[in-house]
Amino acid sequence: MNNTDGSTGRPLVPPFPAEYSLSPPSPNLPSHLLNNSLVLLPGNAVIPNTSLPTHLATELSVSRLNAIHKHIWLAGRTGNTHALHQQKMMGREICRTEQTDLHLVWLGHSIFIKPLPPFLLDHDFFAQHICLASSNLDCPLSESLFGAACGLLYSYAQLIRHESDFHIATSQHLLPADLTWQQWSLLSAHLRLSLSTPSIIINKRYNYGELRLSRLNLIMRLLAPSPYRSFVRGYYVNYREYGTFFSRKLGWLVLVFAYLSVILSAMQVGQVKGVKAFDYASWGFAVAVIVALCVTLGVIVAMFFGLFLWNTLGTLTEQSGSAREKRKRDLQEKEKGDNGYWEGKSGSGKLGAVEVRTEEKYKQLSPQQAEHGSAIEFYTGAAKPFKQLMGKLRAYFLILLES
């Protein structure tokens, strides 16, 4: 596999030189194998060795935003990324998130920011596991692991421009603890220079800066492609109770009806003059307000029962699926147990191993204890085929009912 950019033919390289790497070079390319199954990432994160590509793809994925990219202009402007000290000036609270597609998404006085993974600051790791993995040309380079990694680094170069930004980032644990301002100043200056050139292609999500969560929810409910569309959940919901949902979504209705009540009171005062045209207008407006109130209450009740039924059915479906899978696993284990029982006579199978361990245990017992244990084992073994048969029939019957 050729580790090159398919559009330019240039080899893919990290967006910063090796001398700016924040981890010392290692012959094993900072993934130090602890044993045959575990790997240590830069930053002391331990994951299964076989899941490293999946871990990196999940850690940097912004696939949902790429899926709605043609509508993302509704949620934010290009290049709209404020430095951290400006976020504080606007009264925003920084909320750490490990979900990359929530990075730089804001709602009210809160903004989600993903802590910078330490492995992105390691030159050798970046070259070995990100540049090499992104040489697969099945997808555009901007949507590859390389584009997502460069985009996240570019966003941090915009967020941390001054020493005050750096201190805010370290106090919020957004950067590795051993990173100094001098190191970050050199690295970020090179990142802003290299990532602003056409030779480095960043993920198209990072062409836009901060995105409004309420607009993303609207896009995901109405405009997203079918695999990503979720009319109930939207893009991200940060409420877990019905009361929180209705207070946030329907709080504006209180203000509307307050204005309407003031208008109706004023109309009652105006009716003293006895002008028929005004009286008819007041009457029509009052009827319209009553109808609107009834319709609104009906919609609220329908929303409540709709959400309740949706959540209840989802929970029941999930539990039914889990129970079905458990019964299938139990049935498979029982079938294996049957094979093990009949094969156990020749010393093979699951039960054969049990008998070997039982014989070793009996050698350590007195003759009377061994004879008593052998009798118990005999009667238990004689009853086991009947129990397994009944259990198997019961499992088949439950699966038949489920289907």
Residue 102 CA to residue 155 CA, distance in Å, equals 13
pLDDT at 309: 79
The SS3 of residue 348 is coil
pLDDT at 357: 47
238-266: burial string, b at 16+ Cβ within 10 Å, e else: eeeeeeeebeeeeeeeeeeeeebeeeeee
Nearest CA-CA partner of 314 in 306, 325, 326: 306
Consecutive 10-residue runs of the chain (403 residues): their mean pLDDT? 50 84 55 59 73 85 92 91 95 94 93 94 88 66 81 94 95 91 92 76 90 92 82 76 67 80 80 75 85 84 76 74 75 66 46 45 48 45 51 47 43
CA distances to 272, 278, 346 from 269, rounded to whole Å, are 6, 11, 101
Contact 105, 112 (CB under 8 A): yes
124-151: burial string, b at 16+ Cβ within 10 Å, e else: bbbbbbbbebbbeeeeebbbbbbbbbbb
Please give the angle made by the CA atoms of 298, 304 and 310, to the nearest 5 degrees: 130
H/E stretch holding 379 reads helix 367-402
pLDDT at 253: 78
Residue 274 CA to residue 220 CA, distance in Å, equals 53
In the numeric block, which tokens belong to residue 30?
A: 């900072």
Contact 173, 140 (CB under 8 A): no
Region of 234 (left: φ > 0; alpha: ψ -120 to 50; beta: rest) is left
pLDDT at 85: 96
pLDDT at 136: 59
Residues paired with 41 in a beta bridge: 45
pLDDT at 66: 92
Residue labelled with tokens 């056409």: 198
Count CA atoms within 13 Å of residue 402 on its CB side.
Answer: 17
In the numeric block, which tokens belong to residue 304?
A: 């409540």
Q: CB neighbours of 83 closer than 8 A, spacing ≥ 6?
A: 158, 159, 160, 161, 162, 165
**Given strand 38-41, what is the order of strands in its sheet?**
32-33, 38-41, 45-48
Q: CB neighbours of 283 closer than 8 A, spacing ≥ 6?
A: none
Cα 119 to chain centroid, rounded: 20
Q: What is the pTM of this model?
A: 0.64
Longest Cα pair distance anywhere in the chain, in angstroms? 114
- What residue spans of 223-275 are helical by DSSP H? 242-249, 251-270
Count CB-CB contacts under 10 A for residue 231. 10
**Which amino acid does the sequence have at 69?**
H
pLDDT at 346: 45
CA distances to 22, 77, 161, 246 from 34, rounded to whole Å, are 21, 45, 37, 50
